[in-house]
Amino acid sequence: MTCEYAYNIIVAMDTFEHDQNEILAQLEEPIRSLQDALEHGVILSDGVIAECPYDYDSMLDAHLIRFGACGHLRSIEPQGWMFRFLHHSGIEAHKEPYAIRVTKSYKNVVPHPGKNLARIEYWSQQQPGLFPNAISLLLDWDLDLDREVVLHLSKPAAAWRMGEKPVLEWRHRIAVAVDHDLEFIPADEDVEVESMFDLDDLREEQEE
């Protein structure tokens, strides 16, 4: 393990902790808007794929859904929060002190950030380009067998590499219903993350 990688973990583990249910309550409006946007994206993708004479794959489906979600978000006017569009139809919502990066689930877990420095910084709770002391959250989405949108909200603790276990403080599935507030669903696939490292040892390594 490099000192830089260890340092990222230390920084992320030392971030200010907020009650997870309180976070969900504060982010109710942007999360509902993002879920609605993804549903519009599914409708767009279904229509395009139905008329497509060629075979398609899940990557095309995911991109069409993101593209449709971006188009829908451009038609709304957020109140008390904002969003910005990233490369390749990426979406990020902001409601201080939180930033929510929308990402496609990978094999029912949060994807690793890859080699992109901006994503590594986001996953590591280091956000120089956002508002001060921003807290990075990930809203990973997938589709069930009926092509209904499934959402999980998580707080990354550090960047990790392909094939490694996600380094998250927490991750929970969200129940989205019209007639009641958002809530987390206890489920087997929700990740209960234990620290993979001794933080005292990592601090000593960083100081050497």
Six-digit token string for 31 = 């999360």
Beta pairing class for 135-143 and 98-104: parallel
Alpha carbon 135 to its chain centroid, in Å, reads 12
CA-to-CA distance for 185 and 56, rounded, in angstroms? 32
Burial classification of residue 96, based on how many CB atoms lie within 10 Å of its CB (0-12 exposed, 13-18 middle, 19 or more buried): middle
Q: How sure is the predictor about 5, in pLDDT bands with cuts at 50, 70 and 90?
A: very low
Q: Which residues contact 187 (CB under 8 A, 6 or more apart)?
A: 173
Give residue 207's pLDDT band: very low, low, confident or very high (50, 70, 90): low
For residue 200, what pLDDT is reported? 57
Residue 34: what pLDDT? 97
- Percentage of the chain exceeding pLDDT 70: 79
pLDDT for 208: 54
Is 60 exceeded by the pLDDT of residue 183? yes
pLDDT beyond 70 at 10: no
Quote the pTM value: 0.79
Q: What is the pLDDT of residues 134-181, one digit of tens each?
A: 899 999 999 999 999 999 999 999 999 998 999 999 999 999 887 788
pLDDT beyond 50 at 190: no
Predicted confidence (pLDDT) per residue in 82-105, tens digit: 999 998 899 999 999 999 999 999
pLDDT digit string, tens, across residues 52-65: 888 888 899 999 99
Region 96-116: mean pLDDT is 93
Per cent of the chain over pLDDT 90 is 62
pLDDT of the residue at 14: 43
Distance (Å, rounded) from C-alpha 141 to C-alpha 151? Answer: 5
| Rounded distance between C-alpha atoms, residue 68 and residue 63, angstroms | 8
Which pLDDT score, from 0 to 100, does residue 16 have? 43
Question: Under DSSP, is residue 94 helix (H, G, I), strand (E, B) or coil?
Answer: strand
For the sheet with 183-185, list strands across it.
Answer: 82-86, 90-95, 98-104, 135-143, 149-156, 168-175, 183-185
Express each pLDDT in 120-129 by its tens digit: 999 999 876 6
CA distance 63 to 118: 20
- Closest CA relative to residue 74, chosen from 43, 105, 37: 37
Q: Contact at 8 Å (CB) between 38 and 65? A: yes
